[in-house]
Amino acid sequence: MSISFCLALCFTALLETLDVLHDADNSSDHEPIVLQLDLQVELVKFADRMHTPRSSWEKARDRDLAHCRLSLSHYLADIPIPHEALLCKNVTCCSVEHAQAIDAYANNISAACTAAAEHAIPQTCSRQNSRCIPGWSEQVQPLRDKSLFGTGSGWIVDDPEQELCLDV
Ligand SMILES: [Zn+2]
């Protein structure tokens, strides 16, 4: 079954035309396929970039870490301990209940760590909101301070020996 036949089967309802271009200048052993589809597209819209806040450990101060430790100890205290599964001495244990209890215990500990961090540690903010560009202050700001703004083509460094023009 050829590829074009497979495509024709998949897009039968939408397919208006299907051609394979046999271009003499094409040195590839693959041939481009041109499809004309009857698609009803009313609106194509791109979503805004999504930001998922995360704990920013580098922003955390000593009081945040202490708060996190305290929160974590409270969260951990509420987790039921699966004593029977943890104390099982059968090295070939196949108990579904034991496996589920240990999985749930591990998930609860993980969730407690995440919750404590979200509760006590500063969160990252979106770059769009912070308007912060990594490296700007260290790398670009000194050059910007030394520069004169050019005539729409960029920044011109005010140093006759090292004249430099950067496109903006
Ligand atoms: Zn067991």
Question: How do residues 119-155 score in pLDDT, each as one tens digit?
Answer: 999 998 876 666 667 777 777 777 777 775 554 555 5
Domain range spanning residue 160? Answer: 140-168
In a domain, 76, yes or no: yes
10-14, 24-28, 31-35, 162-166: lowest mean pLDDT where? Answer: 162-166
The kind and range of the H/E element at 114 are helix 96-120
Q: Based on the domain organization, do 26 and 65 belong to the same domain?
A: no
Q: Coil, strand, or helix at residue 34?
A: strand
Gap from CA of 93 to ligand 1 centroid (Å): 4
* Domains in the chain, number: 3
Q: Based on the domain organization, do 65 and 103 belong to the same domain?
A: yes
Q: Based on the domain organization, do 149 and 102 belong to the same domain?
A: no
Gap from CA of 94 to ligand 1 centroid (Å): 7
The Cα 130–Cα 35 span in angstroms is 45
Q: Which two tokens stand for residue 87?
A: 């104390």
In a domain, 127, yes or no: no
Gap from CA of 80 to ligand 1 centroid (Å): 17
In a domain, 61, yes or no: yes
In a domain, 131, yes or no: no
Gap from CA of 108 to ligand 1 centroid (Å): 19
Question: How do residues 55-112 score in pLDDT, each as one tens digit?
Answer: 999 999 999 999 999 999 999 999 999 999 999 999 999 999 999 999 999 999 999 9
Gap from CA of 14 to ligand 1 centroid (Å): 56
> What's the Rg (C-alpha) of the chain?
31
User: How deeply is 90 buried, as exposed, middle or buried, from its count of CB atoms within 10 A (0-12, 13-18, 19+)?
Assistant: exposed
Average pLDDT over all residues of the chain = 80
Band of residue 12 on the pLDDT scale cut at 50, 70, 90 = low
In a domain, 130, yes or no: no
Q: Coil, strand, or helix at residue 48?
A: coil
State which residues have CB under 5 angstroms from ligand 1, the bound ion.
88, 93, 95, 98
In a domain, 101, yes or no: yes
Whether residue 167 has pLDDT greater than 50: no
In a domain, 74, yes or no: yes
Q: Based on the domain organization, do 103 and 145 belong to the same domain?
A: no
